[in-house]
Every structure is written in structure tokens, then in C-alpha cells.
Amino acid sequence: MQVQREWLEFLRDQYPKGTRIRLTEMKDDPYALAPGSMGTLNYIDDDAQFHIRWDNGSGLALRIGEDRFQVLHQEPQTLKFYMPLTAKLYGRDDWGDLEEYGEDLDGRSLRDYQSCIHETILENQLPEEKERGIMRWYDKDDSVNLKVQSVVFDAESRGGQLWCVAECRIMGELLPEEKEKLADFISGQASDGWGEGFEQRAIDLEEGELYVSLWSSSGWTIQTEEERFSPDSLSPLPDLCWSVLPGEGTLICIKRGESGYYPSEWSTKDRAQNRWLADYNNQRRGITPAQEQAMLTGRMFGWDVPGADPRIYENRQEQNGGELTFG
């Protein structure tokens, strides 16, 4: 079927990549999806077929005039990830030379430098990052790439200290595993990618030079606004955590509210290495040992049992002098 170029351009302008679709009816297909199935538009081909990445994993396309579906017009939502900022301030001596050893500054000390850090972050952005920010460097053709329109770094003062914030523009809602993939990508950009170049850039001050790090090797976490600042964030259960399967030692992921577990693609044959990976990923996302133990209990015995409450293990940890043994 020959489709006029003007019509194709209109469709592609009205329904960009990432648009959410709800199926009403799929005709003449032996593998037709059930009505109500949800998916994300990948692209519209030259025959005006809508190629969809369905939430159930299917890749069936939709045909205008044959299949019936709804386009869900959504405004992009903002999701913020917060990370602690650190810096080195090199002052000047009596002769105007930079001191050899800098002063370590944390987020509380950096509040007075928010404006210049913000301006330097903007200056550090590349022309290629104008539309999507650091998502320009996301190299996977997956649902995260479809749903996340852009991610940009900034500095924000909150709770008495200055934070690095990754502001994400999202179409639709991220699944727990998609949010973890996004957090992992942002972590990599903060430590080894975009952030590595940024921390080598001097911020000129009257009193010297400031070098700001978006990532640090000690006590560093990445958490959403809700996870970091919600009044209920003292001991809630996260959407997802990592653990090690008792007996086998396999690295697993546990989703809140679901029984069973999901094997992690990062799992190794070494139980001790898997335990280290679980601890590293949980710590990076601000997940405590008590929360992990509660998630282990919930996935085995149900999420309404007392053992699925992390406060039980927090109290036990206090009684044991700060140690918590997984069982």
C-alpha cells in the first residue's frame, strides 16, 4: 500500500517514539494480543504501520484501518535521582599560588557554591546532548530508551546540603526493573562517563579553584526524590532489591509484592562475589540490610507477614550491636 509522504510526516509528528498505546482490537492475526494490552511506540514505517514494543514482550505491529487502538496522550513526567556531591577546594597562598593539598568539602559545605556549580554543569554539556542530555550516550535499544526522553545533571539544595540531581523526563511509567536500569546508567555516567570529565574541570573562584565530583567511592548512593526525602522513607520496602539465593548462592533480584525471584544477569559462579554485588547494588540505591531481609521474607512467606517489615530487623540489629545475619 502506497502511503503519501505528507500523511506519514503527519503521523510521525503526532505520534513520536515513546507514545503509549492501548490495544482495543487486533484483527486477522493468529497471535493477536488481548484487548487492553499496553505498549510503547518504537517507530512508524513507510507503510504507516505502528511498530510497538508491547509490555508483554511482543513486537507485533498495528495497521491503521484494520486494527483498533487508543493513543494515550501523556505529558512527560519528571523523575529525579539524588546523589551526594563532594569537592576539593584548592586555596591560594600568600603569593597567589594554588595550595598543593586541597580542602575536602561535602554537600553542606558546597551550598554557597550552588550557582557556580550549576553554571559549570551547563557549560560542560556537549552540543550532541541538547535534546536528550546524557541519554544521548545510552546505547541499548530497549524500553528505557523508549520511555526516557532526557536526563540532565544539575545541582540542587535540599535538606541543608547541596546534591547532584539527575532530572529525567519520562513518558509513561517506569517498571521497577526499568528504574534500576536507568539508575545504573546514571551511576555509570556520574562515575566514569560524563562526571569523570566534569570533575577534572576547574571552577575558578576568587579564593582558588574548586573541583566537584558527582560520584565518590565511599558512602555514595543514588535515590529517587521519594526514596531520599519522603517522610515514610525511614524504613519502607524498595521496589526492588538484590540478594543471594540461600543454598545456591545465585545473585537474584526481588520485586516488592511478588513471590519468587528473578535471576540477575550479573550473577557469577562465586557465591562470595555475588554477595559483594548484592551489597554494592543495595548500598548504592540506599537499601539497608534490614530491608533486604524483609524482602527475602516477603517473597517467600507473603508480604503481609510480620517478617516483611524491616523494622523488626532494625531492632534486632541494634540488639546485636549493629550486625545483621541473613537467614
pLDDT tens digits for 221-259? 999 998 888 765 555 788 899 999 988 899 999 998 888
What pLDDT is stored for residue 235 in this prediction?
Answer: 57
SS3 content of the chain, % helix, strand, coil (to 5): 30, 30, 40
What pLDDT is stored for residue 237 in this prediction?
Answer: 86
What pLDDT is stored for residue 326 in this prediction?
Answer: 52
Strand order in 68-72's β-sheet? Answer: 61-63, 49-54, 38-44, 20-25, 68-72
Look up the pTM and report it. Answer: 0.70
Residues 190-230 pLDDT 10s: 998 899 999 999 999 988 999 999 999 888 999 999 888 87
What pLDDT is stored for residue 274 in this prediction?
Answer: 95
CATH topology of domain 5-72: SH3 type barrels. (2.30.30)
What pLDDT is stored for residue 324 in this prediction?
Answer: 53
- The contacts of residue 212 (CB under 8 Å, 6+ apart) are 85, 86, 87, 110, 117, 120, 198, 199, 203
CA distances from 1 to 13, 27, 61, 64, 255 (A): 21, 18, 15, 12, 45
Comparing 74 with 313, which gets the higher pLDDT?
313
Q: Is the pLDDT of residue 168 over 70?
A: yes
- Residue spans of the domains in the chain: they are 5-72, 77-227, 234-319
Mean pLDDT across the chain: 88
Residues 49-99 pLDDT 10s: 899 999 988 889 998 888 998 888 767 889 999 999 999 999 988 888 888
Report, as an integer, the average pLDDT of 31-54. Answer: 89
CA distances from 302 to 198, 218, 245, 282, 299 (A): 46, 35, 17, 21, 6
